[in-house]
């Protein structure tokens, strides 16, 4: 498991309310497919009403990276899982694109992460005890993508909030 570093972990922990989790997955602007596995870690806090609950899981189960072309749209299939013995409601799920990486895993400053957007989950989802639910996250690429973005991998960091069902 790869650590995102103390600063990023603190930033993620401070943005997740209730029972939450985060996953880093890869979106690819064009071919070839990346060799990066999804890296996962979870964060939860002891907010009122969620004490004693474990973090829900977020797993990008899409498989290979999605090829995106300027102005295009794609989708990621995300599995939300509940390790608890009670129902939970996932109130929100978002994905934030990170700085794109080239084949050598180097940042590419000429390609801003803002050319890629992920539409947040539109409505809350109830997950039964020890169950899971698959949701689709819509990914959009800007019409005016710089040439520097060709053949890059965009890491996605998923985060969400949940409460007792």
Answering whether pTM is above 0.75, one says no
Q: What is the pLDDT of residue 140?
A: 92
Domain coordinates in residue numbering, the chain: 6-164
Using a 10 angstrom Cβ sphere, with 0-12 exposed, 13-18 middle and 19 or more buried, the burial of residue 86 is: exposed
Dump the DSSP string for 113-125.
GGGEEEPPPSS-E
Q: Which fold has domain 6-164?
A: Immunoglobulin-like (2.60.40)
Q: What is the pLDDT of residue 105?
A: 84
Q: What is the pLDDT of residue 53?
A: 83
Tell me the average confidence (pLDDT) per consecutive run of 10 residues in the chain, 165 residues long: 45 37 44 36 45 85 80 91 93 90 86 92 95 94 90 87 86
Q: What is the pLDDT of residue 40?
A: 35
Q: What is the pLDDT of residue 67?
A: 79
The whole-angstrom separation of Cα 143 and Cα 97 is 17
Q: What is the pLDDT of residue 51?
A: 66
Tokens of 160: 């969400």
Residue 127's closest CA among 84, 159, 73? 84
| Residue that the structure tokens 């390609």 belong to | 111
């Amino acid at each position: 498991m790869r650590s995102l570093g103390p600063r990023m972990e603190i930033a993620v922990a401070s943005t997740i309310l209730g029972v939450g989790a985060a996953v880093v997955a890869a979106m690819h602007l064009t071919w070839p497919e990346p060799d990066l596995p999804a890296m996962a870690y979870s964060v939860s806090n002891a907010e009122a009403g969620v004490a004693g609950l474990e973090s829900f899981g977020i797993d990008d189960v899409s498989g290979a990276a999605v090829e995106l072309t300027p102005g295009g749209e794609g989708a990621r299939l995300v599995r939300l899982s509940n390790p608890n013995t009670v129902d939970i409601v996932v109130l929100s799920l978002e994905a934030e694109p990170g700085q794109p990486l080239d084949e050598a895993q180097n940042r590419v400053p000429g390609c801003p992460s803002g050319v890629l957007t992920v539409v947040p989950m539109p409505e809350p989802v109830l997950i039964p005890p020890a169950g899971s639910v698959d949701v689709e996250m819509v990914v959009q690429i800007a019409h005016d993508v710089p040439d520097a973005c060709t053949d890059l991998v965009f890491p996605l960091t998923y985060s969400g909030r949940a409460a007792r069902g």
